[in-house]
Amino acid sequence: MPRRVVVIGGGIIGLSTAYYALQKGFDVTVLDRDSADSYGCSWGNSGLLVPSHFVPLAAPGMVQLGLKMLPNRQGPFGFSFSLDVLRWMMIFARHCNPRHVERSQQLLVELCLASVSLYENLASDLGVSATIHKRGLAMICRDSSTLAHELAMVPRAAKLGLNAVEIQQKDLQKLGESLEIVAKGGVMYNSDSDLTPGVIVQALRDQLGDRIKSSCEVKSVIVENGKVSAVKTSKEEFVADEFVLAAGSWSGELANDFGLKMPMVAGKGYSLTLPNPPSSITTPMILVEGRVAITPMTGGTRFGGTMELTRPDLSINQNRLAGIKKSVESFLPQFKEAAFQGVEPWVGLRPCSPDGLPYIGRAPNLSNLTVATGHAMMGMTLGPITGHLVTQLLCEEPPNLSLELLKPNRFC
């Protein structure tokens, strides 16, 4: 009889895990609280596959940068005060040092590159290869000091095996067709690629079919003799041999039910997708000072940004949305605020660990629970490799990459 796996959470991490586990012959069930037409954080994100993001969120200067941005209510960073957020910030601050960056960056690049390569096979197997574009990512800067900082990353990227080159100011216009850009220059990461998140997520959902149980919220867990024996949901009880916790920003709260301490906050962000943009952007870009990502994709050009640290809540802060539009217009004068009129904002919660690294590994206290969450700004990128690594753990095979830095209990 095949071994039964219950995956809690049907975002990109849970779906990728279910996909690879199914290939290995497991009897898979995915439980998701949302309805069949709602997809957590994995739907409206910017769809960038980013080996370029090899510096973890917890890095030198991030606390100072956050404090500088905080007073601006339309700025790209904010937080809602709670004890959880405060505790998280204290651990975050401890990790903002060069040693943490040094020991994390190689692993992040390896995870990203392995995932991008898995995406190619995955998209081909699912019949959606056309959604993946290998056109790089341009980091665009308005200020000389930011540009100098970005340019200093080029040799560091090269050392890690990534292809990054300077973009001269005169070449910025080539990032679109008759596109006006007000900026000093930038850096092009040729190793990055992009996709339309909804296309890949829907293809995975179609593949998994009725193995996905929607509107099915895990409410409590039953633990017996050091193992999870079942989870109780809003619908019924699910018994399995193995359980995977992949509930995105809600995983921290659920981890408590499993007796696991895993600090986590939600990094709230928004996206706006313009079906008919006033000018054509042909290369994905990040407007560095505004922290806005722009991705041309199926259905329009998507503008994503802001990071508000909070407990999981999906309310929309109009100030932040206004800030995204303002930033876009300051870099791209053709994209006036009016261009966004009538566009429905999307809100998503990035599952953020306090050291900027995901939690991937076996739970120390329960022999049949595996954790896969905390991917923050890189969850779309790292979906396939996470699913692949978790499946290796379920099969009791040694993982392709060391999971030492990603242990779920590393803050206990």
Ligand X SMILES: Cc1cc2nc3c(=O)[nH]c(=O)nc-3n(C[C@H](O)[C@H](O)[C@H](O)COP(=O)(O)OP(=O)(O)OC[C@H]3O[C@@H](n4cnc5c(N)ncnc54)[C@H](O)[C@@H]3O)c2cc1C
Query: Residues in the site for ligand X, rule: CB under 6 A?
Result: 8-14, 31-34, 39-42, 45-48, 50, 217-218, 246-250, 254, 269-271, 293, 304, 348, 350-351, 373, 375-381
Three-class secondary structure of residue 391 per DSSP: helix
User: CA-to-CA distance for 324 and 339, rounded, in angstroms?
Assistant: 13
With respect to ligand X, which residue has the nearer C-beta, 179 or 292? 292
Find the shortest distance in angstroms from Cβ 191 to ligand X: 14
H helix count then E strand count, the chain: 9, 22
* Positive or negative: CA dihedral 75, 173, 346, 325: positive
State the nearest-atom distance from the C-beta of 231 to ligand X, in Å. 8
DSSP secondary structure letter of residue 404: G
CA dihedral 132, 110, 40, 302 (to 10 degrees): -40
In the complex, the smallest distance separating the C-beta of residue 50 from ligand X, rounded to whole angstroms, is 6
Torsion, Cα 350 138 109 149, to 10 degrees, reads -90
Asked if residues 281 and 179 have their Cβ atoms less than 8 Å apart, the reply is: yes
CB of 49 to ligand X, least distance (A): 7
Least distance in angstroms from the C-beta of 226 to ligand X = 22
Instruction: Give me the least distance between CB of 14 and ligand X, in Å please.
Output: 5
Is 120:132 a contact under the CB 8 Å cutoff? yes
Nearer Cβ to ligand X (31/179): 31
In the complex with ligand X, which residue's Cβ is closer, 42 or 310? 42
Nearer to ligand X (CB atom), residue 184 or residue 263: 263
User: Which CB atom, from 116 or from 339, has the smaller least distance to ligand X?
Assistant: 116
- Output 184 or 361, the one with its CB closest to ligand X: 361
A 10 A CB-CB count for 306 gives 25
Q: Say how many CA atoms lie within 13 Å of 176 toward its Cβ.
A: 18
Instruction: Report the C-alpha gap between 132 and 163 in whole angstroms.
Output: 18
**CA pair distance 412, 407, nearest whole angstrom:** 10
148 contacts: CB under 8 Å, gap ≥ 6: none
Q: CB 227 → ligand X: shortest distance, Å?
A: 20
Cβ closest to ligand X, residue 184 vs residue 197: 197
Least distance to ligand X, CB of residue 269, Å: 3
**Smallest Cα–Cα separation from 33: which of 201, 211, 215?**
215
Rounded to the nearest whole angstrom, what is the least distance from the CB of residue 344 to ligand X in the complex? 14
Report in angstroms how near the CB of residue 304 gets to ligand X at its nearest: 4
How far is Cα of residue 268 from the mean position of the Cα atoms in its chain? 11
CA distance 262 to 189: 33
Contact 262, 236 (CB under 8 A): no
**What CA–CA distance (Å, rounded) separates 321 from 165?**
31
Between residues 184 and 387, which has the closer beta carbon with respect to ligand X? Answer: 387
**Nearest residue (CB) to ligand X, 184 versus 304:** 304
In the complex with ligand X, the residue whose CB is nearer, 34 or 84, is: 34
Q: What is the CA radius of gyration of the chain?
A: 21
For ligand X, which is the closer residue by CB, 7 or 184? Answer: 7
Q: What sign does the dihedral 276-281-282-287 (CA atoms) show?
A: negative
Supply the minimum distance, in Å, between the C-beta of residue 1 and ligand X: 25
Which residues touch 156 (CB under 8 Å, ≥6 apart)? 54, 105
